Amino acid sequence: MSPIFVLITLEQKDKSSKTKIWLVFSGIILAYLPATHHIQTRWQQAKKKIVNKLKTGEFYGTHYQTLAFENIVITDTEYTHSKVDWHHHENPYFTYLLQGKLFESNKKESYYLEPGSLLFHNWQEAHFNIKPPEFTRGFHIEMNENWLSNFDIQTTDFEGSINLKNPLIKNIMNKLFIESKVNDQYSNLSIETFLLEIFSTIKETKERSSKKPNWIKKLQELLFEEQIDYSLKNLSSILGIHPVHLSREFNKHFGTSLGNYIRIIKVNQAFNLIALNQLSMTEVCYKCGFYDQSHFIKNFKQVYRTTPSKFLKKISIC
């Protein structure tokens, strides 16, 4: 479900009309924007005001967990504000939405975020947020300039905000989240390793995207459908290419094998459903397309090195 922009014309006393855009989010009217100005004008207006700058580890909400390593700060936060006006953060950071919904907009793009959404924000990227009246929880990883410099990561390669949809990147972020709950003497090293994997995968994905054949986008859509035959024969038939060609080319464009990619999509979905804590493990198992509990546990443990039940205990908010 995406946010709905509804045009409403209001008659003024002087008989002239005024058009506004109402942002309807999950059936609730949250805000309105002048239709002739829209987000870009909101940005121009914001630049004339003082845009609030948030310091390291600062987010609008209640922190359930804060981990401060050298050059990295991690927070697990419940968002408590229905609306947060234009602001920016002093460090680049990732936002991973675990529960609830959130609408976010910057000077160029707007995002409707739901559990499993992952964004990267470069430093000083101004944006505002609107939250429906429900429990909303986000996970953040901030890296300061020293950390980026130590690993020769150029922020110019990751300008603005990036909506990260690659299942491989989300899979690494899930592992990083689990590691943050372990929080022992080796966690800093593990988290840095995961972060370097994420930045590397973002860059590789960007390079591969410019060379994708037309059937790649269609295949990506097919793989996220819940009721589909994932066999090479069926997928290649739908795409109009030979099964051997699909098998050979898949790894080059997706960075892993077809079978592992599908597995990661399913365990990522299970990860997000478990984090929501609204379904039983049996319901999660079948909703994600696993044959039975044994198949579910085996695949989850293969990817995340823990069982679904132990994972739930690790991430539960006390």
Q: How far apart are CA 278 and CA 46, in angstroms?
A: 39
Q: How far apart are CA 53 and CA 90, in angstroms?
A: 7
Has residue 85 got a pLDDT over 50? Answer: yes
User: Half-sphere exposure of residue 49, counting CA atoms within 13 Å on the CB side?
Assistant: 13
Q: What is the average pLDDT across 69-97? A: 92
Has residue 17 got a pLDDT over 50? Answer: no
Strands 52-54 and 83-89: parallel
Has residue 2 got a pLDDT over 50? Answer: no
- Residue 266: strand, helix, or coil: helix
For 161-199, the DSSP string reads EEE---HHHHHHHHHHHHHHHH-STTHHHHHHHHHHHHH
Would you place residue 226 in the very low, low, confident or very high pLDDT band (cuts 50, 70, 90)? low
Sign for the pseudo-dihedral over CA of 277, 278, 283, 285: negative
Would you place residue 224 in the very low, low, confident or very high pLDDT band (cuts 50, 70, 90)? confident
Q: Is the backbone of residue 225 left (phi > 0), alpha (psi -120 to 50) or beta? A: beta
User: Half-sphere exposure of residue 205, counting CA atoms within 13 Å on the CB side?
Assistant: 18
**Residue 223 gets which letter from DSSP?**
H
Has residue 287 got a pLDDT over 70? Answer: yes
Has residue 58 got a pLDDT over 80? Answer: no
Q: What is the per-residue pLDDT for 90?
A: 86
Residues facing residue 7 across a β-bridge? 21
With a pLDDT cut of 70, the percent of the chain lying above it is: 83
Q: How far apart are CA 100 and CA 291, in angstroms?
A: 28
- How many residues appear in the chain? 318
Q: What is the per-residue pLDDT for 3?
A: 44
